[in-house]
């Protein structure tokens, strides 16, 4: 079967024929490539073409695809059953490990995706504060739940800001969307309706708008405002958790969020999400408190086994040194390449994440991200793909390096 044939078949049963922003291997045009297998830093499509993968399953594949130890852990767990609908030891050990690695997380609940983690954290914030409004930022993505989509008509209809068009306004009308890195706007919102604000949710490094870092004082300011007004600060570290660094972005700052959401890396490629934080807030969850939260497959033993083994591997000495070194080499290599070809280009990175921009300076806001030359990105993306290098298929999405991207692979990347 060719990519084209399976794509045509997919159109019959899957709306859009899988060519949705997050699932398609090639969402900026052309036929999606259907993946047959993956190993280390490589993936192969069903026609046998090999690619160096700088998307890493949209982030989770931090130790590389099909890591033998992760596979062995999954296989062992699967021989004992797939889901019991009852607590397991592994679930408790994974929860303990997350609390140990991220100090602001005193207690944690496991769920099955990043969306579930952010929805649950927001529901909990509303329950704990008795307030309704939430603040989110332009270009930050927190999943596909209603209240986190951007209001229709905001004009920011990119992948980083999926529109709520088609969703009844009452579902989104409690969300205040403000520009990232603009503390003054946040202050204004609190001055106007501070008593109604349940929480701020923020990607502390915004990977869904191509890696935009917080400017000095921005996250600190959010922390202060939340404390002053009794709102909760939620760091959405679904993308950055265990990827920007061993303790996520919060480990690189002195800021303690009230709640944190995680997914991607903590499942090692299997569906695991988590939300956790201050014990007094987490205890608002039933049966101790009134906020309902449950999931049929939450904490299932096979996913938990993959997550535990992945966290064990990345806790080994030197893991993040390798990851950061490889990312830096990649970014330097791309910058050199751009310079050789007189292309207007800038790039930034943190831990195992990188962002490239076809504009002169590294952006600090979503508006600036949008000034990146999208056409240049598309040309570059397709050229790289044809050469067997797979990047995030959107100019608004960070790319990811896994620890299996060796120097040999980097050499091949630039040969391409």
Give the residue numbers annotated as catalytic, written as ranges: 141, 236, 264
Is-contact 383 17, C-beta < 8 A?
no
Distance, CA of 269 to chain centre: 13
Question: Is 349 one of the binding residues for ligand PLP (CB under 6 A)?
Answer: no
Looking at beta carbons only, is 117 or 331 nearer to ligand PLP? 117
- Shortest gap between Cβ of 142 and ligand PLP (angstroms)? 5
Looking at beta carbons only, is 91 or 203 nearer to ligand PLP? 203
Is-contact 183 365, C-beta < 8 A?
no
Question: Is 329 one of the binding residues for ligand PLP (CB under 6 A)?
Answer: no
Dihedral of alpha carbons 265, 331, 364, 55, sign: negative
- Shortest gap between Cβ of 143 and ligand PLP (angstroms)? 4
Question: Is 239 one of the binding residues for ligand PLP (CB under 6 A)?
Answer: yes
Distance, CA of 299 to chain centre: 20
Looking at beta carbons only, is 137 or 345 nearer to ligand PLP? 137
Q: What is the dihedral of CA 100, 103, 106, 109, to 10 degrees?
A: -70
Looking at beta carbons only, is 43 or 148 nearer to ligand PLP? 148
Strand pairing category for 42-45 and 232-236: unpaired
Distance CA 139, CA 212 (A): 10
The stretch near ligand PLP (CB under 6 A) out of 84-92, 93-101, 112-120, 125-133 is: 112-120
- Shortest gap between Cβ of 114 and ligand PLP (angstroms)? 2
- Shortest gap between Cβ of 277 and ligand PLP (angstroms)? 16
Contact characters 58-87, ligand PLP, x per CB under 6 A: x-----------------------------
Question: Is 238 one of the binding residues for ligand PLP (CB under 6 A)?
Answer: yes
- Shortest gap between Cβ of 286 and ligand PLP (angstroms)? 23
- Shortest gap between Cβ of 121 and ligand PLP (angstroms)? 10
Query: Which residue matches tokens 């800021």?
Result: 255
Alpha helices in 153-217 (DSSP H): 169-172, 183-193
253 CB neighbour count, 10 Å cutoff: 17
Question: Is 236 one of the binding residues for ligand PLP (CB under 6 A)?
Answer: yes
Using CB under 6 A, count the residues that bind ligand PLP. Answer: 15
Using CA atoms, how far residue 227 sits from 17, 224, 340, 409, in Å, is: 46, 5, 49, 46
- Shortest gap between Cβ of 264 and ligand PLP (angstroms)? 7
Q: Hey, which residues between 129 and 148 contact ligand PLP (CB under 6 A)?
A: 141-143
Q: Hey, which residues between 256 and 295 contact ligand PLP (CB under 6 A)?
A: 263
3-state secondary structure of 182: coil
Burial of 247 (0-12, 13-18, 19+ CB in 10 A): middle
Contact characters 166-205, ligand PLP, x per CB under 6 A: -------------------------------------x--
Residue of the chain from 56, 64, 114, 269 that contacts ligand PLP (CB under 6 A)? 114
Looking at beta carbons only, is 384 or 392 nearer to ligand PLP? 392
Distance CA 242, CA 299 (A): 19
Name the strands in the sheet holding 273-277, side by side, starting at the edge strand that comes first in the sequence. 107-111, 273-277, 259-262, 232-236, 197-202, 133-137, 175-178
Binding footprint of ligand PLP on the chain (CB under 6 A): 58, 113-115, 118, 141-143, 203, 207-208, 236, 238-239, 263
């Amino acid at each position: 079967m060719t990519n084209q044939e399976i794509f045509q078949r997919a159109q019959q049963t899957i709306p859009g024929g899988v060519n949705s922003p997050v699932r398609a291997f090639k969402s900026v045009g052309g036929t999606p490539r259907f993946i047959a297998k993956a190993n280390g830093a490589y993936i192969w499509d069903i026609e046998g073409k090999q690619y160096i993968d700088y998307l890493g399953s949209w982030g989770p594949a931090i130790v590389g695809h099909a890591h033998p130890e992760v596979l062995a852990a999954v296989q062992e767990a699967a021989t004992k059953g797939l889901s019991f609908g009852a607590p397991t030891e592994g679930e408790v050990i994974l929860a303990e490990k997350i609390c140990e690695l991220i100090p602001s997380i005193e207690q944690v609940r496991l769920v099955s995706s990043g969306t579930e983690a952010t929805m649950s954290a927001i529901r909990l914030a509303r329950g704990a504060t008795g307030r309704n409004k939430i603040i989110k930022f332009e270009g930050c993505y927190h999943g596909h739940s209603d209240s986190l989509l951007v209001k229709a008509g905001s004009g920011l209809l990119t992948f980083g800001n999926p529109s709520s068009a088609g969703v009844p306004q009452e579902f989104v009308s409690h969300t205040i969307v403000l520009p990232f890195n603009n503390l003054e706007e946040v202050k204004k919102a609190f001055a106007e309706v501070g008593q109604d604000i349940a929480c701020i949710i923020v990607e502390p490094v915004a990977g869904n708008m191509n890696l935009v870092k917080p400017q000095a004082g921005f996250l600190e300011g959010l922390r202060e405002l939340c404390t002053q007004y009794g709102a909760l600060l939620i760091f959405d570290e679904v993308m950055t958790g265990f990827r920007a660094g061993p303790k996520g972005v919060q480990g690189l700052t002195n800021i303690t969020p009230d709640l944190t959401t995680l997914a991607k890396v903590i499942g090692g490629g299997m569906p695991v999400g988590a939300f956790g934080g201050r014990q007094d807030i987490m205890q608002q969850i039933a049966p101790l408190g009134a906020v309902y939260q449950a999931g049929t497959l939450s904490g299932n033993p096979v996913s938990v086994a993959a997550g535990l083994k992945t966290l064990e591997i990345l806790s080994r000495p030197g893991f993040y040194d390798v990851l950061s070194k490889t990312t830096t080499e990649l970014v330097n290599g791309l910058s050199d390449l751009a310079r050789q070809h007189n292309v207007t280009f800038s790039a930034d990175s943190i831990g195992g994440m990188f962002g490239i921009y076809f504009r002169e300076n590294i952006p600090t806001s979503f508006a600036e991200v949008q000034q990146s030359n999208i056409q240049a990105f598309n040309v570059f993306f397709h050229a790289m793909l044809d050469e067997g290098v797979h990047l995030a298929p959107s100019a608004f999405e960070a790319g990811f390096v896994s620890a299996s991207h060796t120097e040999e692979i980097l050499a091949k990347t630039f040969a391409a």
